[in-house]
Amino acid sequence: MRKLGYKQPKFKGINYNWYNEAGLSNDVDVYLTFDTMDWAIMKPKFGIGGLNDILKRMDEDFPEKGRGLNFTGSNDIILIHDLPETAHLFEPIIEKLLDKGLKFELPKFS
């Protein structure tokens, strides 16, 4: 991808050890720090079977295990899928993130 000119935006304030030790900020691909797991409703996995499970997971506090939305020491890259099967989840997920006090910012490219 680098040879084709792709580069990752510069995400500021990602302070998870697991993320930085793996060098994910230096890769070409964008790696998330939190997966909403919305995709799991299509074939329940990892204890996610519906919206309530997704929202409950967003309250967990395991920053070094990819569930750090409640950890104030880092910014996050949040993955929400754009699929017909998950479209109805988008608004409640965004509302929950806003209720948690998260702010959305576009990353900068260097």
Q: What does the pLDDT read at residue 110?
A: 61
Tokens of 40: 């799991």
pLDDT lower than 70: segments of the chain? 110
For strands 34-35 and 78-79, give the pairing: parallel
Q: What does the pLDDT read at residue 3?
A: 84
Between CA 75 and CA 77 the distance in angstroms is 7
- pTM confidence score: 0.84
Between CA 45 and CA 56 the distance in angstroms is 15
Burial environment of residue 14 by CB neighbours within 10 A (0 to 12, 13 to 18, 19 or more) = middle
Q: What does the pLDDT read at residue 108?
A: 76
Between CA 45 and CA 24 the distance in angstroms is 25
